[in-house]
Amino acid sequence: MLETELTDLQVREGSTGTLIVTTQTRRVSSPRGQFEAGDALGLSYAQRMGLIILPQALKLVIPGIVNSFVGLFKDTSLVLIIGLFDVLGIVQLNLTDAKWFANSTAMTGYVFAGFVFWIFCFGMSRYSQMIERRLAAGDRR
């Protein structure tokens, strides 16, 4: 059962990532001017994609990919139902241990788990914004 859920998660995230990259690459390469500029420079198809199209698409793909990573991070907690050991699993495991259990254990554990989720998601978001700013530096001219 665990293998089925993990396979489902992998296939879904893989297809989402492929869709994001494909859509943004088409969005950049739709104007014929991009390919014509590469032809004028005498570049091959691989060189045009590597030097012209993909660098522009990367700027557009970052928000979608980071959003997908944040969703994947949150979805792993939902897989807890089938027994995957994650942050909420640790909290629930501590609730069953008599040495750790107190009246405030559940609330403290869940607040801490929420804080951990917030830190990771906020960190991924800030890192994404930093990459976007760095890649957009050439556009400000």
One pLDDT digit (tens) per residue for the chain, 141 residues: 556 666 776 777 777 777 777 776 676 655 667 778 888 889 998 998 888 877 877 777 787 788 777 777 777 665 554 454 566 777 777 777 777 777 777 788 788 878 887 888 888 888 888 887 887 755 655
Helices 2-29 + 54-78 axis angle, to 10:
160
Q: What is the pLDDT of residue 3?
A: 65
Q: What is the pLDDT of residue 82?
A: 47
Question: From 1.20.1250.20, 1.10.3720.10, 1.10.730.10, 3.30.230.70, which CATH number describes the 2-140 domain?
Answer: 1.10.3720.10
Q: Where would I find the beta strands (DSSP E) of 47-131?
A: none
Predicted TM-score (pTM) of this structure: 0.52
Is 37 in contact with 52 (CB distance < 8 Å)? yes
Q: Which residues contact 110 (CB under 8 A, 6 or more apart)?
A: 88, 91
Q: Kindly list the domain boundaries of the chain, sorted by start residue.
A: 2-140
Both tokens assigned to 90: 């640790």
